[in-house]
Amino acid sequence: MAEGGVHLDQDRFSCSICLDLLKDPVTIPCGHSYCMDCIKGCWDQQDHVGVYSCPQCRQTFSSRPVLGRNTILAEVVEELKKTELQAAPPEHCFAGIGDVACDVCPGRKNKAIKSCLVCLASYCETHLQPHNESPAFKKHKLTDATGNLQEKVCSQHDKLLEVYCRTDHQCICYLCVMDEHRGHDTVSASAERTNKQKHLKATQSEFQEGIQQREKKVQELRQAVDSLTRSAQAAAEDTESIFTQMIRSLEKRRSELKDVIRAQEKAALSRAEGLLERLEQEIAELKRRDAEMEQLSHTEDHIHFLQSFQSLCVPPGPVHFVHLPTIPVDPHCSFGDVKKALCDLKAQLEEACKNKFTEISQTGWYRNKYIFIIHT
């Protein structure tokens, strides 16, 4: 009997601040009880004004009351925790965010488990018992707890919506059938639900098929994207490798051409230096003879002149060093033709690269192979 009383008055043992069973209960001078931590936290926020009040009755205290644990109340709460209140089924709990609250529970409401379409109210397990036990509620229609009960009532006649008008495509009550919907194609809501359920399943089947088709396309597209990524990576690596080889080949050709130029330069310089040496020797010999002839032309000794003339002057006929030799080196020659040839090669390479890059970019190889999936 005592346990039954405690069960009915369970809200009296809840803290009005945290709305849960009292923990370390304390009773303040006005008589109201709270969790020790809850009232301390509340009064900590009032320290700056120096006036403390009861959260329920608003009675104020000029000084902060000293809190002491209410031993008797603590024992009652401990006993309460051992009763059926704490051993209740999962459905018997307080309503939280998103739950439908019981319309009968006083104070903090429990979560409703059923709603009555006749009473237009929702009930927790405890307050649902009359509907399950009393013959007066046997014809009431119970549904899973819902918070939109007013939407199931005719706003004009305040009667339960139990009929569906196929003409106007709306739910109506029985009085509506005799009023503005007279002569319309009407059926019971349950019958129309059965009919609509078939269409719903058919539509749902189409949706599921559409989902499967699109999931298949998604999988194909993901595979295509992966393949495209791998192919692009391989192409980038091949590009790097081929261009590296081309650069190395050009560098090799450049080195070889420089060697050829240096070899030709060395050969030409060697020939020119030999010719210079020969010419300088001939110049020296001619200068020597010219000096001797000049000296001989001024001598007064006729005998000496005649005897020396024979050795200084060559016999009649061509003298080998009087005529200049054939010069095999053009003093104005250069390697300008090499530069022109290289400039032509550079232009040809650039034109070939430009044409090949344009061909690669306009081929559209990846679009033809992969992107068609999106349009199929």
What are the backbone dihedrals phi and psi of residue 216, each rounded to the nearest 5 degrees, phi first? -65, -40
Task: Give yes or no for residue 285 having a pLDDT over 70.
Answer: yes
11 domain-assigned: yes
Per-residue pLDDT averaged across 130-154, rounded? 85
7 and 78 in one domain? yes
Please give the tally of structural domains in the chain.
2
Token pair listed for 219: 């999988």
Confidence of residue 187 (pLDDT cuts 50, 70, 90): very high
- Is 367 inside any structural domain? no
Contact 179, 197 (CB under 8 A): no
Picking from 157, 190, 223, the residue at the C-terminal end of a domain is 190
The verdict on 78 and 124 lying in the same domain is no
Q: Is residue 235 part of a domain?
A: no
**Most confident of the following: 82-96, 245-259, 297-311:** 245-259
Residues 118 and 78 occupy one common structural domain: no
In a domain, 69, yes or no: yes
pLDDT mean over 289-313: 86
| CATH number for the domain that contains residue 183 | 3.30.160.60
118 and 48 in a common domain: no
3-state secondary structure of 153: strand
Q: CA-based angle 62:67:72, to the nearest 5?
A: 135
Asked if residue 97 is part of any domain, the answer here is no
CATH number for the domain that contains residue 59:
3.30.40.10
pLDDT at 91 over 70: no
Least confident range from 59-68, 146-155, 166-175, 266-275: namely 146-155
End-to-end CA distance of the chain: 75
148-151 long-range contacts, CB within 8 A, separation 24+: 149/115, 149/117, 149/120, 149/121, 149/122, 150/120
pLDDT at 253: 92
- Pair 64, 127 in one domain: no
More confident residue, 364 or 180: 180
Euclidean distance between CA atoms 182 and 186, whole angstroms: 9
Which long-range contacts does 38-44 make (Cβ < 8 Å, 24+ apart)? 39/67, 40/67, 41/17, 42/17
Q: Pick the last residue of a domain from 174, 190, 206.
A: 190
Residue 128 lies in a domain: yes
- Of 231, 235, 220, 232, the closest CA to residue 371 belongs to 220
Residue 327's pLDDT band, with cuts at 50, 70 and 90, is: low
Q: Is residue 335 part of a domain?
A: no
Q: How confident is the model at residue 376 (pLDDT cuts 50, 70, 90)?
A: very low
Whether 44 is in a domain gets the answer yes
Q: What is the tens place of the pLDDT at every residue in 225-268?
A: 999 999 989 989 998 999 999 999 999 999 999 999 999 989 98
Question: Given this model, what pLDDT does residue 331 score?
Answer: 52
Which amino acid type is present at position 369?
Answer: K
Domain range enclosing 164: 114-190
The residue out of 190, 219, 236 marking a domain boundary is: 190
Judge if pTM exceeds 0.75: no
- The predicted pLDDT at position 169 comes to 93
Closest listed residue to residue 131, CA positions, set 111, 112, 158: 112
Pairwise CA distance, residues 149 & 121, whole Å: 7
Residue 328: count of CB within 10 angstroms of its CB = 10
* 8 A C-beta contact, residue 95 and residue 125: no
